[in-house]
Amino acid sequence: MVVLPDHLHCIWTLPPDDADFATRWRLIKTWFTQHCPSPLRAVPDPARSAKHEQAIWQHRYWEHVIRDEGDYAHHVDYIHYNPVRHGLSASAMDWPYSSFRHHVAAGHYPSDWGGSSMSIDGVGHE
C-alpha cells in the first residue's frame, strides 16, 4: 500500500463472492477525509468547489484482478515505486506512507530498491 497526496494504491483480498470495490473506496476516502486536518481539505480548484467536491482524492478508481504471482509482483513494485514516479521522493524507502519498509524488513526488497533511475515501463498496467 502507498498513500500519496491525492490518491492511494493497495492490493486487497476481498471476501468470496464480494467485489464491491466502489463502496469500500467510498468508505475509506470518507473516513480519511473526515479525520485529516482541515487545511488538507481546502479546495484549490474552483470547478471542484462548485461541485462540492473535497480536494484530497481523485474521484475515480481502477480495479484489477491479480492473475498470477508475476502480476502480483509487478503491481507491488508499481505501488512501491509510485512516490518516486510522481517526484515525491528520491527512492521508495524515502516515502514514509507506504508498506515498502515492511517489505524490506520481511526480506522482499533491498532497502536501496526503487531509486529515481529505475524503469517501470509497463508495470501495473494491463
**Catalytic positions, written as ranges:** 97
Q: Which residues contact 33 (CB under 8 A, 6 or more apart)?
A: 41, 54, 56, 57
How far is it, in rounded angstroms, from Cα 96 to Cα 100? 9
How far is it, in rounded angstroms, from Cα 45 to Cα 1? 27
| Residue 8 φ/ψ region, left for φ over 0, alpha for ψ in the -120 to 50 degree band, beta for the rest | beta
